[in-house]
Amino acid sequence: MFGMTVRGTKPKPDGQKRNRHKPTFEWVEVPDVPFRDGPKLPARQPGGKAWPAWTKRWWAAISSMPHCLLWDESDWAYAFDTAIVAARFHADGDIRSAAELRNREKLLGNTFDSRRDLRIRYVADHAEPDEAAGVTRIDDYRSAVG
């Protein structure tokens, strides 16, 4: 994931763009389906401390983001290191950890804004329905009414 970060500023709205040519970097579209194959949080933190409940909830959210399917071993290692920072913040209220956590979460893409900065877009899964959705043809309706 971190290899696909984009250099430069955020894209501007259409009316404010100065360069009218096609952007150099395209969006990565990911099906909007929770990722289920992420690694589990280790039983204990390094040093043997138990994980705070908030950190366990945080990991459940982070490790199931749809774009986790793009991650490799180094991305997961970064996420585990970020869990340690999150635990310091969640357990002790360590304010110094808050800024580090915020910066790391931005690189993980856990908010809409950070995914936009990384040019990751969740898209609906467009599976074709097996049968018609039960839509009534307007001609059938008109003949029944009139």
pLDDT digits (tens, 9 = 90+) for 45-68: 999 999 999 999 999 999 999 999
Q: CA 23: distance to chain centroid?
A: 22
Higher pLDDT, 98 or 127: 98
Helix (H, G, I), strand (E, B) or coil at 127: coil
Residues in the chain: 146
Q: CA 95: distance to chain centroid?
A: 25
Q: Half-sphere exposure (CA, 13 Å, Cβ side) for 108?
A: 27
Q: Are 88 and 95 in contact (CB under 8 A)?
A: no
**Measured distance CA(45)–CA(55) in Å, rounded:** 11
| pLDDT tens digits for range 63-120 | 999 999 999 999 999 999 999 999 999 998 888 899 999 999 999 999 999 999 999 9
Domain boundaries, the chain: 2-36+51-125
Q: Provide the pLDDT confidence category of residue 142 given band limits of 50, 70 and 90.
A: low
pTM comes to: 0.69
What per-residue confidence (pLDDT) applies to 13? 76
Q: Provide the pLDDT confidence category of residue 12 given band limits of 50, 70 and 90.
A: confident
